[in-house]
């Protein structure tokens, strides 16, 4: 249809049509087409206007949709960085919008980044209400273990020019809020990808990081940390991968303004670090750090790490995989810590934490898998992994609880005072000096100094014979039966642990009858070739299918039933894939 003569002057100016105060005749080539209110027009022919895909409401524009992104603080405007000369100009435009009416009727902005590498003049001070959304980075790998040699192969990547990429240090006592990174890669940074807050500086609250990958410098210590949050609350992170750093994820409480940071959740965090050593100058830097520093109004607390993984290879075994220092109420679920370090998980002056270990061994080899210092108390540790080595400081003064300990687990040092709940089979109490009467005095039935064993068979060292007066619970001496590799092994019914390393398929195996209620564990390991099968004895019910991976072990626990006249599986076993 023809446009009406009363069309607004701004649109007429846009069309290049002039009107005088007196009536004019229609142009020689009248405009045609039809339009919809609030849609920006587009020329669909020499003389025809129609709707474009751009929708405008106030200051906000939507592309391909009439539904604009809403937030609790206002209407989010989209800034497409393809329309700007560089990334900094795009961010400046977004921040100029969000900082208008910072208090009260504030704004939020969405910054879109396309496929490609964006150079950032860093460090860039990022403020509240900014959401950066890119194209999820694609990775390539040049080795068999792809998570140890990651490299970008497409997607959005921000190059930080050898500086800290982003900082957030000017938000005042309340810090900044609602900053979000989604589907973005980072490379070429120095101190950190994002340094939110600092000593007595509030960091970020209600911030989200999702589907983010950071690949630091290939030179040791070239990229120190990944994400660092001081005095921050309600941080949510999901699917974060940080490689080539000393510390991938850091959360710190260090503020005297009354804030008690925490209340955060990190899911699917992977950290691959540089080799740690005194020679490299990074031996004091853990892969993941949760810490309280002075001054602090309160300890860092109420943080959940779900399926964190830390890999540290090489080095001199002087660092920690995960360090909890002065923190409370931290929950770690299904931790996979494969480190060549002093400790896979280290608790220092920390209490009321829950630690669930899925794997604490691998290519790396720590001196201790879990180390609980003298000032750590009321912690609960659950191991899903065989051959876990736990160290408890001889001066430990308060109760810590251990559950689900599998065969081969060892406790070194003192159990400390208080009642300890150690459930599982094949637990080894082993003093670091070999003299349990000196380093484990609490195993005596002194008042408030005893060990409580539940469903536990206690290995007895040669220098100590346990009696019922020493501990509460079931006590028995035991031994390990190491079988030579052959195709028809005979397992021991009187040993609490049978081990065999397969060099070929086991076509059949046997084990005699045991005493009623007697338990044994069977560890079937593969040689460096792997791929060998294992046939369980006919009087073993519920035997697992052993894993086939080279140099890995599968472990399962059994109990003898005199009524059924067979060995019954107590669990599904653990396959070390």
Long-range contacts of 257-261 (CB under 8 A, 24+ apart): 257/173, 257/200, 257/202, 257/297, 258/297, 259/202, 259/231, 259/233, 259/297, 259/298, 260/297, 260/298, 260/299, 260/301, 261/203, 261/229, 261/230, 261/231, 261/232, 261/233, 261/298, 261/300
Which 3 state secondary structure label does DSSP give 238? strand
Looking at residue 228, its pLDDT comes to: 97
Residue ranges per structural domain of the chain: 9-62, 396-478, 482-575
Regarding predicted confidence, which is higher, 422 or 193?
193
Task: Inform me whether the pLDDT recorded for 102 exceeds 90.
Answer: no
* 384: pLDDT strictly greater than 80: no
Confidence band for 388, pLDDT divided at 50, 70 and 90: low
pLDDT at 360: 72
Tell me what percent of the residues of the chain surpass a pLDDT of 70.
70
Confidence band of 314 (pLDDT split at 50, 70, 90): confident
- Higher-confidence residue of 216 and 257: namely 216
In this structure, are residues 316 and 289 in contact, taking their beta carbons and an 8 Å threshold? no
Q: What is the mean pLDDT of residues 429-442?
A: 30
Range 421-425, long-range pairs (CB < 8 A, 24+ positions): 421/452, 421/454, 422/451, 422/452, 422/453, 422/454, 422/456, 423/453, 423/454, 423/455, 423/456, 424/383, 424/455, 424/456, 425/455, 425/456, 425/457, 425/496, 425/519, 425/521, 425/557, 425/570
Residue 214 to residue 139: CA distance in whole angstroms: 11
Residue 462's pLDDT is: 38
More confident residue, 22 or 479: 479
Both tokens of 386, joined, read 């065989």
pLDDT at position 493 is 85
Local structure of residue 191 (DSSP, 8 states): S
The fraction of the chain above a pLDDT of 90, given in percent, is 45
- Per-residue pLDDT, averaged over 36-42, amounts to 79
Q: What is the pLDDT of residues 164-218, one digit of tens each?
A: 999 998 866 678 889 999 999 999 999 999 999 999 899 999 999 999 999 999 9
442 pLDDT higher than 50: no
Residues 100 and 74: beta-carbon distance below 8 Å? no
Q: Is the pLDDT of residue 48 over 70?
A: yes
- Among 45-59, 339-353, 484-498, the range scoring the smallest mean pLDDT is 45-59
Query: Is pLDDT above 70 for 568?
Result: yes
Q: Which of 44-53, 105-114, 280-289 has the highest mean pLDDT?
A: 280-289
Segment 80-101 mean pLDDT: 86
- The pLDDT confidence band at residue 1, using thresholds 50, 70 and 90, is very low
Output the pLDDT for position 87: 96
- Nearest alpha carbon to residue 152 among 139, 169, 135: 139
* Per-residue pLDDT tens over the stretch 472-504: 333 334 468 899 999 999 998 878 789 999 999
pLDDT at 453: 41
Beta bridge partners of 422: 402, 453
> What does the DSSP assignment read for 145-188?
SGGGSEEE-SSEEEEEEEE--EEE--SGGG-EE--EEEEEEEEE
Residue 523: predicted pLDDT = 92
When pLDDT is cut at 50, 70 and 90, the band that residue 36 belongs to is: confident
Residue 267 has pLDDT above 50, yes or no: yes
pLDDT band at 272 (very low <50, low <70, confident <90, very high): very high
pLDDT of residue 393: 62
Lowest mean pLDDT among 65-69, 394-398, 413-417, 509-513: 413-417
pLDDT classification of 66: cutoffs 50, 70, 90: very low
Contact indicator for 328, 335 with CB cutoff of 8 Å: no
Q: Is 90 exceeded by the pLDDT of residue 290?
A: yes
Mean model confidence pLDDT for the chain: 77
Which residues, 6 or more positions from 271, have their beta carbon under 8 angstroms from its beta carbon? 226, 242, 243, 245, 247, 248, 249, 287, 288, 308, 309, 310, 311
Over the Cα atoms of the chain, what is R_g?
32
What local confidence, expressed as pLDDT, does residue 258 receive?
73
Peptide bond just before 218 cis, omega within 30 deg: no
C-alpha to C-alpha distance for 504 and 525, rounded to whole angstroms: 11
């Amino acid at each position: 249809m023809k446009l009406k003569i009363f069309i607004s002057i701004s649109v007429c100016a846009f069309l290049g049509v002039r009107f005088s105060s007196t009536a004019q005749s229609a142009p020689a080539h009248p405009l045609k087409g039809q339009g919809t209110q609030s849609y920006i027009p587009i020329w669909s022919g020499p003389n025809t206007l129609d709707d474009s895909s751009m929708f405008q409401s106030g200051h906000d524009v939507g592309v391909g949709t009439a539904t604009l992104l809403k937030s609790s603080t206002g209407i989010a405007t989209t800034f497409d960085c393809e329309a700007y000369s560089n990334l900094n100009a795009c961010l400046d435009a977004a921040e100029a919008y969000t900082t208008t009416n910072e208090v009260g009727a504030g704004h939020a902005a969405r910054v879109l980044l396309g496929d490609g590498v964006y150079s950032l003049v860093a460090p860039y001070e990022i403020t509240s209400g900014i959401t950066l959304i890119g194209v999820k980075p694609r990775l390539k790998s040049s080795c068999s273990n792809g998570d140890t040699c990651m490299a970008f192969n497409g997607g959005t990547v921000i190059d930080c020019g050898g500086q800290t990429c982003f900082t957030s240090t000017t938000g005042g006592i309340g810090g900044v809020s609602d900053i979000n990174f989604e589907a973005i890669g980072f490379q070429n940074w120095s101190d950190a990808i994002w340094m939110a807050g600092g000593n007595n500086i509030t960091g970020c609250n209600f911030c989200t990081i999702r589907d983010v990958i950071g690949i630091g410098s290939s030179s040791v210590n070239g990229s120190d940390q990944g994400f660092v949050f001081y005095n921050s609350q309600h941080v949510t992170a999901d699917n974060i991968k940080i490689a080539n750093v000393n510390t991938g994820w850091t959360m710190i409480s260090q503020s005297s303004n009354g804030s008690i940071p925490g209340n955060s959740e990190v899911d699917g965090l992977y950290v691959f670090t540089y080799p740690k050593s005194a020679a490299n100058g990074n031996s004091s830097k853990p892969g993941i750090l949760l810490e309280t520093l002075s001054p602090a109004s309160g300890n860092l607390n109420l943080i959940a790490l779900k399926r964190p993984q830390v890999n540290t290879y090489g080095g001199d075994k002087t660092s920690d995989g995960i360090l909890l220092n002065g923190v409370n109420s931290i929950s770690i679920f299904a931790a996979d810590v494969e480190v060549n370090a002093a400790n896979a998980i280290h608790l220092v002056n920390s209490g009321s934490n829950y630690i669930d270990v899925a794997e604490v061994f691998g290519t790396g080899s720590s001196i201790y898998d879990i180390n609980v210092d003298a000032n750590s108390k009321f912690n609960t540790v659950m191991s899903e992994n065989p051959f876990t080595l736990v160290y408890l400081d001889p001066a430990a003064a308060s109760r810590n609880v251990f559950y689900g300990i599998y065969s081969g687990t060892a406790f070194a040092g003192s159990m400390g005072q208080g009642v300890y709940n150690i459930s599982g089979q094949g637990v080894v109490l082993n003093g670091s000096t070999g003299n349990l009467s000196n380093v484990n005095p609490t195993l005596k039935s002194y008042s408030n100094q005893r060990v409580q064993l539940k469903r536990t068979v206690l290995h007895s060292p040669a220098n100590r014979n346990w009696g019922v007066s020493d501990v509460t619970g079931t006590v028995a001496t035991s031994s390990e039966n190491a079988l030579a590799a052959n195709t028809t092994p005979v397992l021991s019914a009187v040993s609490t642990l049978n081990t065999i390393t397969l060099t070929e398929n086991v076509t059949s195996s046997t084990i005699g009858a045991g005493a009623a209620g007697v338990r044994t564990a069977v560890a079937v390991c593969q040689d460096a070739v792997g791929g060998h099968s294992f046939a369980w004895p006919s009087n073993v019910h519920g035997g697992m299918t052993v894993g086939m991976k080279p140099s890995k072990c599968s472990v399962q626990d059994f109990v003898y039933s005199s009524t059924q006249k067979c060995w019954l599986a107590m669990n599904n076993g653990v396959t070390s894939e």
